[in-house]
Chains A and B, each alone.
Chain A
Amino acid sequence: MIKIKNLEASIDDKTILKGIDLEISAGEVHVIMGRNGSGKSTLANVIAGNEAYEVDGGSIAMNNTDITEMSIENRALEGIFLCFQYPVAIPGVGMAYFLRSALNAHRKHQGKDEMDALEFLNNAKAILSELGLDDSFLKRSINDGFSGGEKKKSEILQLLTINPKLAVLDETDSGLDVDALRTVAKGVNKFKNENNSVLIITHYQRLLNYIKPDVVHLMIDGKIVESGDMSLVEKVEKDGYSWLEK
């Protein structure tokens, strides 16, 4: 699905990613854990193509297509979806309009007809009810005045509407109460199938009680220093990260 080779990236001349190698195959769930400031969100943003970051070396390939230089929107159309850690509020742009524009951009790219308003609405309503959200959610402006939980659910609503190939969840679990966490996890599990992939960025175990990862990576100072199975998560919860530092 995605193949990242020796990726280096910086912001404002400050090097953050210092050679990341990561390969995720279709059907897999990977987790990246690491302390605050280790570069997890930077990696997520660089995968999504955020132009605020400079790629200084290495490459990212999506299904054997090099996307390192690809525009943000084209990556999205190729199947990359970032669940933002801090989604921006955009007053004045309705959720329904936004979701339909995003969905139709994808459909157009896939050579499909645009979805009409009614079909879209029925789809969206089905997803909303699974997320425990009222239909009126669609009438609100993007993330405007949303609670923390609503913002994360809004990201999941977008994920399920667009149905990408790779979902990168940047701290989608943080700041959620147990109910909201369960709802979000349910949404991710609904998305997940053997043809797509999930990259979960977190620093807690809690989401992983609901979504079982295939591979766990530990990140320190812009590098993946350890990869393994679920037992790594338990070790980090117990011992922290200092044992990884030489």
Chain B
Amino acid sequence: MIDSIKKSSIEFFNTNGLPSKKLENWKFTSSKNFKNFNKSSSLDEIKKIESDELSIVFINGVLDKHSLENFKFADLIEVKNLNELTKKELLYCSESFLNESMFNLGVSEFENGSYISFKENSVIEEVINIKNYFFENGQNERVSSFNIFHINERSEISIIEEDIKENFSIFNLKLNKFICENSSIFKHGKAYNDDSQTHSLSYNYYQIEQDVALNVDSMVKSSFFNKEFIEVDLNKVGSDAKINILNLGKEEQHVDNNILINHKAEHCTSFQHVRNVLDNKSTAVFNGKVIVAEGAQQTDSNQSNKNLLLSLESNAFSNPQLEIYADDVSCGHGSTTGALDENSIFYLRARGIDYSSAQKILIKAFAKEVIDDFSLSSLQDISEIALDSWIDG
């Protein structure tokens, strides 16, 4: 089954090529550097990673089964290779991803994807660390991966993903699917606290069933290119999706969020809050869209994008959108872009706080408003430390 999907994916990519600026989600994003990377070959040597009982390790996008031997909750999970999946719908990702050239490229290239399923009623209080190690194999390699996490009914799972790599150039093309079954709670935290040479392009598809609480919290600091697609299908009634993202950009970095939330059922709520802090010549793009389908009454959705520009050469492109096909809904959206407030700086300085400290206090305050909304306190801690060092650096 995988082989036929891969075949049509490579055909799609070969027909469409690299994404052009004519596409809405690529209007302010250049894909020209993508050409500099070649498909990776599999690692020559087997890397041994020491992992603790709360960690699941991936090496160049492939599950490291050794890490499961120590894993405290090994009994609660079932792991398969994606090749073994027989139900096609398990592999399905959104229609819009299927129309993305780079998604198709990723599908055609990934090898040894994993399907990790948390059994019904798995309530895990501890946060599970998903550690994504990357090792250099050849120069300028593109590492494609596809992994599926299935959170079954009434399970409560929290994960924090971290990328761990030395300083080398890589294109990380990462496809993930998350299935949240009825009455599950899933908290997905991400910390990209990387060196500046990584190109990261990720596609995250969340399939949400009934009465689910989903949180996606993400902090991105210092990566050369980071474009993330998040698509959430709220398929059944009573679910809630909250997405909180903080991006810190410096130098010529590019951070980019493309979020699509499909309200397909009644009584669902969604919340997107994306803040970008941009220094030097960095750029941020926010494409946020909420689609409320016909019949998805009592939808309550909000999207907010705020951009703080610390230099005249930094740029933020913000495009919050709403498409509503139901009448009994409450949908808000807004976006602001601006520099630090001069009056606030004056106020702090008038109390004896020096200019540079005043700036730092205000940058921190701006960023903290998203961090405070993160659902995972350990990600809040990681983010605050990263933020402090970013501000001081």
Contact = CB atoms under 8 A, between A and B. Distances in A.
Nearest to B341: A88
B347 interface: yes
Interface stretch (B28-36, B45-53, B264-272, B353-361): B353-361
Tell me the dominant secondary structure on chain B's binding face.
helix
27 contacts: A49-B349, A52-B346, A72-B349, A72-B350, A73-B349, A73-B355, A76-B350, A76-B351, A76-B352, A77-B352, A82-B350, A84-B347, A88-B347, A90-B344, A90-B347, A90-B348, A92-B368, A93-B365, A98-B351, A98-B361, A102-B351, A102-B352, A102-B353, A105-B351, A105-B353, A105-B354, A106-B352
A87 interface: yes
Given A51-B346, A84-B347, A91-B369, A71 B355 contact: yes
B84 interface: no
A90 B351 contact: no
B119 interface: no
A101 B348 CA distance: 10
A71 B352 contact: no
Contacts of B349: 49, 71-73, 76
Contacts of B358: 73
Interface string A65-100: 000000111001100011010011011110000100
Nearest to B345: A72
B279 to A, nearest CB: 18
Contacts of B369: 91-92
A98 B357 CA distance: 11
Nearest to A51: B346
Contacts, number: 74
Nearest to B366: A92
Interface of B: 341-344, 346-355, 357-358, 361-362, 364-366, 368-369
B354 to A, nearest CB: 5
A31 to B, nearest CB: 21
Given A91-B369, A93-B361, A158 B346 contact: no
Nearest to A106: B352
A88 B358 CA distance: 14
Contacts of B361: 93, 98, 101
Residue among A52, A76, A87 with the most chain B CB within 10 A?
A76
B391 to A, nearest CB: 14
A90 B347 CA distance: 9
Interface string A155-170: 0001000100000000
Given A91-B365, A92-B369, A73 B347 contact: no
Given A158-B351, A162-B351, 9 more contacts: A51-B346, A73-B350, A76-B350, A77-B352, A93-B362, A101-B351, A102-B353, A105-B357, A142-B347
A48 B350 CA distance: 7
Contacts of B353: 73, 101-102, 105
B352 A87 contact: no
Contacts of B348: 90, 98, 102
